[in-house]
Amino acid sequence: MSTVTIAPPPSTQGPPLQRETTAGNYFVANYPPFAFWTADAVPAFHEALDRPPMPGVPLGLYTHIPFCRKRCHFCYFRVYTDKNADDIKAYLDALLKDLAAYAGKAVLGGRKPRFIYFGGGTPSYLSPDQLRYLTEGMKRLLPWDEATEITFEAEPGTLTDHKLRAIREMGVTRLSLGIEHFDDTILEINGRAHRSKEILRAYGYAREIGFPQINIDLIAGMVEETPGKWQEAVAKAVALEPDSVTIYQMEVPYNTGIYRQMKAEGKLVAPVADWDTKRRWVDEAFRAFEARGYTVTSTTTVVKDPARVKFEYRQGLFSGADLLSIGVASFGHLNGVHYQNHHDFQPYVDAVNAGRLPTYRAYVLPDDERYLREFMLQLKLGSVRIADATAKFGTDPRVRFAGPLATLRDWGFLVASDTHLGLTRRRSSHGGCVGQAGDVP
Ligand code: SF4
């Protein structure tokens, strides 16, 4: 395949990239953005559940566990650090009722989930007994025997040998460790609950137990990050030889501890590295892994053996799979409709206990926006195959998206060949995460 990076014309305006890190989200998690989802569309979502699934659309299952040991200063997710064992039991029962409400719906059409994801919050906050109670109940409602990928997010400080064995026995294929950094001072300043000793202990246990895939998460640009500390963190990550690595760039949304402090001090710029620096750090990390034979497979991910290690959850989500999501604040997509559950603990639990679906807001995706959504999300993987997009949506993406593609070309971000459209790494590293209500346990 011949690829051409189209150079920017000399006199054109550059892209409107922000330099400093100011408050707000930059990750592209979904399309259209959540601000467009409304309570008015909830009845249309409930009607869609009574229709059979679209032919050939696979099903995924997402479960949200909103508990954490402590709230990280950069966290903007709906998490709870004050729930006791009774609250947790009530939540697990609510999750099972939430799932049971879908189990008899036409939308499932006899499908079983092909990929399953436990995100948070911190799924590994649950005890082995709580995990068994939840997952055995889930399997009775919707068997997992056809799932080829089961992902479980874990915070290193919550993991014991005993708990890791229970997680593996659940059938988990990918353990996703929220390491974020190896420097204890940086971990502490950013409010993380774990320390480097716990990372090494948990990683060692997980390797011994033999998870098919261990993914580690890192964040470039945490508070107090320096070039030297980042280099050390990358070297330590490389030395662990993980199966895959996900690297996020620090953003500072409004509902974070960091933003509250900025506001109190009257600051507009966050006390973290600027975007150019963060992009450079991600690039350095990608290069360090590439030098060890890893392959960059998305804006945020490097993989040791792409033939063996897949990200079906991400691939499914970006290609229009149905995603049944249960849990507070979780969001999913069924029969062409996006939906999100109640984002507070008690309204969520009360709704399912009253026999109602806990849907908070929804968005009916018109056919044309389906194309836009999938094209945009797949660009986060690096490139889109023109023939596949044309076959699926009936229009060549070079025609459908001629205007935006021309802009990307003018900025020097477009990589075009006869068969593929993609983004240069410079552009794609300003992309986004694949995430859910919580991505960084
Ligand atoms: S970043 Fe992750 S571990 Fe930290 S509080 Fe948020 S969900 Fe919990």
Which of 64, 73, 122, 177 maximizes ligand 1 atoms within 8 Å of its Cβ, making it the mutation to test the pocket?
122
- Predicted local distance difference test score (pLDDT) of residue 283: 96
Instruction: Examine residue 82 and state whether it is found in any structural domain, yes or no.
Output: yes
The CB density around residue 198, as the number of other CB atoms within 10 Å, is 17
**C-alpha span between 326 and 356 (Å, rounded):** 13
Residue 118 lies in a domain: yes
Asked whether 409 and 6 are in contact (CB, 8 A), the reply is yes
Q: Which residue's alpha carbon is nearest to atom 4 within ligand 1?
A: 72
What spacing in Å lies between the alpha carbon of 177 and ligand 1's midpoint?
A: 12
Closest approach atom of ligand 1 to CA 191: 4
**In this structure, is residue 229 part of a structural domain?**
yes
- For residue 439, being part of any structural domain is answered with no
Task: Select from 8, 129, 133 the least CA-distant residue to 63.
Answer: 133
Report d(CA 9, CA 256) in Å as an integer: 40
- CATH number of the domain where residue 73 is located: 3.20.20.70
- Percent of the chain surpassing pLDDT 90: 85
- 130 Cβ contact partners less than 8 Å away, ≥ 6 residues apart: 88, 89, 92
- Residue 39 Cα distances to 150, 155, 328, 361, angstroms: 31, 34, 16, 4
DSSP assignments along 247-301, one per residue: EEEP-B-TTSHHHHHHHHTT-SB-SS--HHHHHHHHHHHHHHHHHTT-EE-SSSE
CA 81 to centroid of ligand 1, rounded, Å: 10
* Nearest CA, atom 6, ligand 1: 75
Answer whether residue 322 is part of any domain.
Answer: yes
- Closest CA to ligand 1's atom 7: 121
Q: What is the position in ligand 1's atom list of the atom closest to the CA of 74?
A: 1
Task: Identify the pLDDT of residue 426.
Answer: 64
Q: Which atom of ligand 1 is nearest to the CA of 76?
A: 6
Pocket of ligand 1 (CB under 6 A): 68, 71-72, 75, 77, 79, 120-122, 155, 178, 438, 440-441
- For 195, other C-beta atoms within 10 Å of its C-beta total 15
Ligand 1 pocket test, pick from 27, 65, 67, 72 with the greatest ligand atom count within 8 Å of Cβ, gives 72
The 3-state DSSP class for residue 320 equals coil
What is the domain count for the chain? 1
Dihedral of CA atoms 286, 316, 441, 299 in degrees, nearest 10, equals 20
Tokens coding 363: 């968005």
- Which atom belonging to ligand 1 lies closest to the Cα atom of 441? 2
d(CA 415, CA 2) in angstroms, rounded, equals 10
Helices (H), 298-344: 312-318
Strands (E), 79-211: 115-120, 149-154, 174-180
Q: Which of 370, 335, 342, 322 is nearest to 49 (CA)?
A: 335
Global confidence as pTM: 0.93
pLDDT for the residue numbered 268: 94
Cα 192 to ligand 1 centroid, rounded to whole Å:
8
Distance from the alpha carbon of residue 154 to the mean position of ligand 1, in angstroms: 10
Residue 13, in any domain of the structure = no
Is residue 252 in a domain?
Answer: yes
Low-confidence ranges of the chain (pLDDT < 50): 1-11, 429-441
Q: Under a CB-based contact definition with an 8 Å cutoff, are residues 363 and 36 in contact? A: yes
pLDDT tens column, 123-153: 999 999 999 999 999 999 999 999 999 999 9
Q: How far is CA 29 from the centre of its chain?
A: 7
Long-range CB contacts (within 8 A, 24+) of 164-172: 164/202, 164/205, 164/206, 164/209, 165/128, 165/209, 166/128, 166/131, 166/132, 167/124, 167/131, 168/209, 168/210, 168/211, 170/131, 170/132, 170/135, 171/135, 171/144, 171/147, 172/118, 172/211
3-state secondary structure of 431: coil
Token digits for 400? 């459908």
**Residue 250 lies inside a defined structural domain of this protein:** yes
The secondary element (H helix, E strand) that includes residue 135 is helix 128-141
3-state helix, strand, coil in the chain (%, to 5): 40, 20, 40
Q: Which residue range is the domain that position 311 belongs to?
A: 34-364
Rg over CA atoms, the chain: 21
The pLDDT tens digits for 313-338 are 999 999 999 999 999 999 999 999 99
